[in-house]
Amino acid sequence: GWVVAAVVRPPTVRERAAVMAKFVRIAQHLADMHNYNALTSILSGLNSSAVSRLRFTAAEMPPALQRLRTTLE
């Protein structure tokens, strides 16, 4: 989907981490607005096999966003 393409497209780990962090922040706003349909779509993209294999990319995100991502899942 679109989330997966947006995360894997940037050529560097730092750029991919920035995109992933942006989606985590968007997911938090969606949860706050109780928009669970869009939240599920974004989380599905972040949990897809193509994105979940990017362990170095996830490790580049700030620790607070890593914890937030785990909480949202």
Task: Tell me how far the alpha carbon of residue 37 is from its chain's centroid.
Answer: 16
| Amino acid 73: pLDDT | 83
pTM: 0.89
From the list 49, 5, 7, 1, the residue with the least C-alpha distance to 24 is: 7
User: Each residue's pLDDT tens digit in the chain (73 positions)?
Assistant: 899 999 999 999 999 999 999 999 999 999 999 999 999 999 999 999 999 999 899 899 999 998 998 888 8
